[in-house]
Amino acid sequence: MKLAKPRKVARDSVAGAKAGWRVQGVLGDVVMERCGHDFKRMWQVLTYIGGWGLFYEANGRAPRTDREYSSGVNVALGTSHRWRTAFAETFPEFDTPLILWEQVNGRVHSETVEVAALEVGACQVELAV
C-alpha cells in the first residue's frame, strides 16, 4: 500500500507575515512524511497525540509534565518522554498537540491510547507551515 503525500494546497499570508504553505492531508501521512518514513517514530508521534488528547479531554487541560502524562495515560515515564521527544522533533512549530487535537477530536472515540493513535492517524488535517 503506497501512502499518499500531503498536498500543498495554498500559498498563505497572514497579516503581512511571511508567506508560507498550508499542508492538507491525512495526519498519519503527514507524520510519516515528516518522520522520514520511520514507522516506529511515526507510531510514537501518533500515540503521543492520541494520549495527549485523551488526557486533555479527561482533565480539561494539557499535562504539565511527562510524569503527569505517563500516569494519566498509564505508560512508563521513559515511554512518555520518548513519545514527547518524537512529537517535538516532528512538529517543532507546536509546543503541544492542541492544534492537531482540535482538528481530530470529534473523530476519536476510543479511551485506549493505542486505538486513539490509529483514529488520530486516519484523520484529515490542515496545517500551516
C-alpha cell at 82: 520518548
What is the pLDDT of the chain when averaged over all its residues?
81
The confidence score (pLDDT) of residue 20 equals 53
Give bridge partners of residue 11 from the DSSP assignment: 21
| Strand, helix or coil for residue 36 | coil
CA angle 57–59–62, rounded 5-degree value: 80
For 126, the 3-state DSSP assignment is strand
pLDDT at 8 over 60: no
Q: Where are the domains of the chain?
A: 36-128
Give CA–CA dist 127/129, Å, rounded.
Answer: 6
Q: Tell me how long the chain is.
A: 129
pLDDT higher at 118 or 65: 65
| Residue 24 pLDDT level (bands cut at 50, 70, 90) | confident
Confidence class for position 21, pLDDT limits 50, 70, 90: low
Encoded amino acid at 45, one letter: V
Please report how the helices 66-73 and 39-59 are oriented relative to each other, as an axis angle in degrees rounded to 10: 80
- The answer on pLDDT for 11 being more than 70 is no
pLDDT in tens, 66-114: 999 999 989 999 999 999 999 999 999 899 999 888 888 888 877 777 7
Rounded to the nearest 10 degrees, what angle do helices 77-90 and 66-73 cross at? 110
Express each pLDDT in 30-54 by its tens digit. 888 888 888 999 999 999 999 999 9
Is pLDDT above 70 for 19? no
